[in-house]
Amino acid sequence: MGWFGAARGEDDEPYRYVASVRRAEDGVLAGAGFVLSADLVLTCAHVVNDALGRAMFESRSPGLDELSVEVRDTSGTQRYPARVAHWIPPRAGDGGTVRTGDDEWFGDLAVLRVDGPAGGLPFSPDRTAMTVDQEVSAWHGGGRGATIARLTVASLHRSLGYLDGEATGMAVGAGYSGGPLWCRDEEAVVGLVVAHFMPPRDPAGALLPPSPQHLIRRSWAVPWQSIEAELRPLGVLDAVTTAPLDFEDPAFLLLVEVVEEVLPVMSERIDRAQRLARMCGVEAASSVTPPTSEELAAFLLTHPRALAVLSGLLRRDSPEAADRVLATGGLSHVPRLLSPQEYAELRRRLGALDRAVLGRFPEAVRAALPHLAALPGGDSLDALLDQLETLPGDSRSVGGERRVPALIRVVEYVGALCPGARRAELRLWADGVARRLGIPRAALGERRSDAQVWARAARDRSARVRVLVQVNGAERGRHRLRSWCDEGAGPRQVSTDSVVSYSASEAAREVLRVLDTLKSPDGDERSPLVEVLVDRTSLNLPIDEWEARDPDEIVPGVLGVEFPLVVHCPELLRRHGRFMAHWRSRWSRLDSGKTFVVSESMDREAIYSRLVNQLDTVRVSVDVPPAVRDGVVQTCLALGIPVVVWDRSRDGASHVTKHMAEVATRELPDGIRNYRANAKASPPEFPGRPVLAWADADRTVPRLHLTEPQESA
């Protein structure tokens, strides 16, 4: 085991590895899981859906919704709050939606971040690949040893493992989903229980009499090798499993020398090593014999948060030693920025913030890290934090001073959006981490000042209330709608799935009905923004001209005249994922970026060559004949241009392009609305029919019903 050993359960009690996933509100059991690392638990996505009272195959990420996880240690069962850190929803074999009644599917994994003890969660088992004929065991999510079900891996097929249960004893059933499959021969978990095949029933739903031809006790699971394939691209396993340490690695050899020099006294090394082990949630082998320099250096380069802990233990008495440990350990990619305690405290602080503030977290990231080539993203706050922790500081430094890391800078920007008490808590956290890292107060103060300036500017142009409307074609001249409202905390659906179709006039009345339910924040006199989600074939649909014709109404109700109306095409934005970073980068320059006017016929290749590397181009005005216009517009949107303006009707020079040239990019939604109102009143003076494509990288767009998955900002 070595001097630093993982805190684990007894080998003859593997049922201790089973974690219980429960509903946060009433504690009802939803299913099982098992501990991946000090603060991560793996389970099935459908177990999380059950715990949150959602449909079994709901594909949307739960976001900040909270549930409970129970884990077992030597003193009993402990319950902790948890949220989804990484979400891989159930999907059909063709990548589509899983439907009720399906008996097989793929994906269906959820990694939960658990607010557990400072030393980390206990009993994280080893993992290894599933193979045919392995003898395995599973337990009910309640974690009782008596619920053991003995199974044999019958076959592996298409990333699924089929399991046959013994004819006696427990059968896999409700409550086993998400639990580990333990192989005693391998002394490791080899997969995750997902579902079982139910006995056949007659058309009325009653069980049929037993028959030798019936499938008996057949279940299926996700093998560990398939789980690895799903989680590896997300970076989850980087902090969970590490490659064997290369003892010829220069970082290791240098760190051995540093340890010998900064901890030469054996009694001091024992004390620091014991405290290091305790804070990292592992066992110390001895209270009398210290670890060798090689053992201590190896632990610092294999446990992702050990280096941060040791630097904190050294900082007060020996700042130079702390600096040397950080600098040398930084040569390896394994050590993370924060200690377990710092990370847990940050998550608690962020979890206590208002959702409206957390909804602006990606906006703060873009503002805090304007020069980052590819901005981090993810399905959850925890995934975003994990990526931010790996980024270096991009702030200025003088005379070799340590730079302010990207994560601390982002926390300062988020804190600047908070009211006084919450802002003070985040600043105290940042002060503590900066002190441990040896970052000068002046450097952190400069970043804090930058954040305050940005927050004041952001308040002046705070996100406006908006309605999102997805428009899909139905029968000729009719449309199907889905609607969401967003008052600042993210979209909430206000219409349900339906086969109802609307004429243009009926659709306008439906959208106006939704708009009438909105209430803008006090002091915000701006009209709500109407953001219409369309596919690439519907960019020129005249939705802004839809009029709620009703003889009983006093005013006509033209959507684009009363409200700033923009179109958004997630299909094109996502078509080439490599340009997503360009889109975010351009959006961050919205107030200072350039406008490119296409006033002569250009093919797609010419547009591509002109714009692909011009990241300071944030807006394109298209003034070409309709025959080539649509190709130009779609190419611009696919390249990540966030703002594109064109006239859907003109063959000659566009009055829209000329008129809008004087309007600031951020003011275009209102400028276009004014133009439409003027065109309604005086068509000869305002002959254009403007369209504004607007892809806001700081605002969340619903995922569930889009043609292709959409970025959650």
The pLDDT score that the predictor gives to residue 625 is: 86
Q: In the predicted model, is pLDDT for residue 214 greater than 70?
A: no
Name the pLDDT band for 668 (thresholds 50, 70, 90). Answer: very high
The pLDDT score that the predictor gives to residue 10 is: 44
Average pLDDT of the residues in 600-613: 83
Q: In the predicted model, is pLDDT for residue 205 greater than 80?
A: no
Whose tokens are 């308040």? That residue is 459
CA angle 456, 460, 465 (to 5 degrees): 125
The pLDDT score that the predictor gives to residue 460 is: 59
Q: In the predicted model, is pLDDT for residue 8 greater than 50?
A: no
Instruction: Dump the DSSP string for 629-692.
Output: HHHHHHHHHHTT-SEEEEESS-SSS-HHHHHHTTS-GGGHHHHHHHHHHHHHH-TTTS---EEE
Q: Strands 188-196 and 180-183: what pairing?
A: antiparallel
- Which letter does DSSP use for residue 192 in this model? E
Percent of the chain with pLDDT over 70: 88
pLDDT in tens, 18-68: 999 998 778 889 999 999 988 899 999 999 999 999 989 998 888 878 899
The pLDDT score that the predictor gives to residue 75 is: 76
pLDDT in tens, 344-388: 899 889 988 887 788 788 888 888 887 765 667 666 788 888 889
Strand partners, 259: none
The pLDDT score that the predictor gives to residue 370 is: 77
Q: Strands 617-622 and 643-647: what pairing?
A: parallel
Q: In the predicted model, is pLDDT for residue 622 greater than 70?
A: yes
Average pLDDT of the residues in 532-541: 92
Q: Report the C-alpha gap between 121 and 42 in whole angstroms.
A: 13
The pLDDT score that the predictor gives to residue 394 is: 56
Q: Higher model confidence: residue 12 or residue 424?
A: 424
Closest CA to 331 of 395, 243, 253: 253
Name the pLDDT band for 639 (thresholds 50, 70, 90). Answer: very high
The pLDDT score that the predictor gives to residue 706 is: 41
User: Cβ(205)–Cβ(113) under 8 Å?
Assistant: no
Average pLDDT of the residues in 695-711: 61
Tell me the three state secondary structure of residue 162.
strand
Evaluated on CA atoms 233, 105, 52, 486, the torsion sign reads positive
Q: In the predicted model, is pLDDT for residue 598 greater than 70?
A: yes
Average pLDDT of the residues in 211-225: 80
Q: In the predicted model, is pLDDT for residue 283 greater than 50?
A: yes
Structure token pair of residue 639 = 């390249």
- Which letter does DSSP use for residue 233 in this model? G
Average pLDDT of the residues in 241-249: 69
CB-hemisphere CA count at 13 Å for 480? 10
User: Cβ(711)–Cβ(664) under 8 Å?
Assistant: no
Report the largest interatomic distance among the alpha carbons of the chain, rounded to a whole angstrom.
93
Q: Higher model confidence: residue 411 or residue 247?
A: 411
Q: In the predicted model, is pLDDT for residue 413 greater than 90?
A: yes
The pLDDT score that the predictor gives to residue 494 is: 85
pLDDT in tens, 430-448: 999 999 999 999 999 999 9
Average pLDDT of the residues in 586-591: 84
Q: In the predicted model, is pLDDT for residue 707 greater than 50?
A: no
Name the pLDDT band for 652 (thresholds 50, 70, 90). Answer: low
The pLDDT score that the predictor gives to residue 497 is: 58
Give helix 441-460 / helix 361-368 axis angle, nearest 10°.
120
Instruction: Dump the DSSP string for 135-146.
Output: EEEE--TT--GG
pLDDT in tens, 305-352: 999 999 999 998 999 999 999 999 989 888 999 998 999 899 889 988
Torsion of CA 575, 91, 50, 189, to 10 degrees: -110
Structure token pair of residue 6 = 């993982």
Name the pLDDT band for 168 (thresholds 50, 70, 90). Answer: confident
Q: Report the C-alpha gap between 649 and 300 in whole angstroms.
A: 66
Q: In the predicted model, is pLDDT for residue 489 greater than 50?
A: yes
Structure token pair of residue 156 = 């592996």
Q: How far does Cα 49 stand from its chain's mean position?
A: 17
Whose tokens are 């409307």? That residue is 469
Average pLDDT of the residues in 243-263: 85
Q: Higher model confidence: residue 372 or residue 241?
A: 372
Closest CA to 705 of 468, 380, 470, 379: 470
The pLDDT score that the predictor gives to residue 207 is: 66
- Strand runs labelled E in 10-159: 18-22, 29-37, 40-43, 66-73, 76-91, 106-114, 135-138, 149-157
Closest CA to 259 of 280, 284, 276, 283: 276
Average pLDDT of the residues in 92-119: 85
Structure token pair of residue 392 = 């270096």
Q: Higher model confidence: residue 405 or residue 391?
A: 405
Give helix 420-437 / helix 306-315 axis angle, nearest 10°.
80
Q: In the predicted model, is pLDDT for residue 390 greater than 90?
A: no
Average pLDDT of the residues in 521-544: 87
Q: Report the C-alpha gap between 193 and 613 in whole angstroms.
A: 47
> At a CB cut-off of 8 Å and minimum separation 6, what does 483 contact?
467, 468, 469, 470, 493, 494, 495, 510, 511, 514
Closest CA to 47 of 98, 100, 111, 128: 111
Q: In the predicted model, is pLDDT for residue 633 greater than 90?
A: yes
Average pLDDT of the residues in 618-628: 90
